[in-house]
Structure 1
Amino acid sequence: MTIQATVCFILRDNEVLLLKKSKGLFGQGKWNAPGGKILPNEEPQTCAVREVFEETGIIVENTEQIGLLHFYNNSQRENPDWIVHAFLAHQSIGVPIDGREGRLKWFKIDALPFDEMWEDDQYWCRLALEGTRLEGWFYFSGDFENLIDHRIEVKPPPNQIEE
């Protein structure tokens, strides 16, 4: 069964807030945007706002969905294990507070710690942080340890009609 989740990149000037996942959690030791599983009957945007607050203590405003990411494990290509709705938050209220989910840190957008992030992030994060709407498909082996294939499609802005 496919798990639906969110990530939300909180922007400040030329920086983005990332969370280094605590030991014992999915993604432990990796930097990632705050986010988590979508609850039953919850909208992705509502989940993104909720997860950001739970993991950082920050209230985000003006979120925009920037991407839809499909993650497959162990080479299967029929049903994704995860579908992740990626958001940008252009406004936030509050000061980040480390919690049980992990440690928070602001990074310059042009100096992201890709060597300590999920392997797929190097292919789509910069595009998303620049405001490019996208959809991505990522195929992993070894319990999401090794990226073996990927595809990214850039999408038109929501107000642009495709012909």
Structure 2
Amino acid sequence: MDTTAPSSDIPPKVLTLLMIVRGKGDSREILLGMKKKGFGAGYYNGFGGKVETGETIEEGAQRELREEAHVEALDMERRGVLRFIFDDNPQPWEVHVFHATEFSAEPLESEEMAPVWFPTANIPFDKMWADDVYWYPLFLGGKCFRGELFFTKTTTLVKHTVEEVPGPPFTWS
């Protein structure tokens, strides 16, 4: 697999990922969803997806959270951006990662996702995307970050870089 950056003439697909964290100290929990269908089915993940035409990235993150867990984040903040490069897809993905601690209601299951609270000390990384183990510590540590993640055959992580950055805005230029 060629693990160099994709051609700059292919604009990235812009997506979002939003996770809610509640509690303090050793009692903190993170809300993840078991993906029930579509891309990523069978994996736990945050809530998110494609930013639609006419939406800001933030609006897309909120819409996806409403659609997938029936809640709204009340204090959403951007923590990171991840660039995914797949050997079987010429278009890179640019995923904007958000954090929230306050939300409008108790999460409910949707057609696409089944929400589950996990203690932050017991995140089920063995049932998640292979890259998550590398950036979640920064995310949960309150840090801002960016990373590039190279996959072969869609799900096999072959190379990654993840680094802490001073804060928004997050760009690739």
TM-score (norm 1): 0.89
Report whether the alignment pairs 1:51 with 2:64: yes
In the alignment, structure 2 segments of 5+ residues that lack a partner are: 1-9, 169-173
In structure 2, what is the Cα distance between the partners aligned to 1:39 and 1:115? 31
1:22 maps to a residue whose letter is K
2:112 alignment counterpart: 101
1:12 alignment counterpart: 22
Q: Retained in 2: the 8 A contact 1:71–1:80?
A: no
Q: Retained in 2: the 8 A contact 1:75–1:139?
A: no
Following superposition, the deviation at residue 130 of structure 1 comes to 1.7
2:165 alignment counterpart: 155
Following superposition, the deviation at residue 75 of structure 1 comes to 8.1
2:122 maps to a residue whose letter is A
SS at structure 2 position matched to 1:61? coil
1:89 alignment counterpart: 100
1:161 alignment counterpart: none
In structure 2, what is the Cα distance between the partners aligned to 1:126 and 1:101? 26
2:63 maps to a residue whose letter is R
Counterparts of residues 12-161 of structure 1 (less than 5 Å): 12-13=22-23, 14-23=28-37, 25-74=38-87, 81-142=92-153, 144-157=154-167
**Number of residue pairs aligned between Structure 1 and Structure 2:** 154
2:96 maps to a residue whose letter is H
Q: Retained in 1: the 8 A contact 2:69–2:113?
A: no
Moved over 4 A (4+): none
How large is the Cα RMSD of the aligned pairs?
1.6
2:29 maps to a residue whose letter is E
2:81 maps to a residue whose letter is L
Q: In proportion to residue count, which structure has more strand?
A: 1
In the alignment, structure 1 segments of 5+ residues that lack a partner are: 159-163
Following superposition, the deviation at residue 126 of structure 1 comes to 2.0
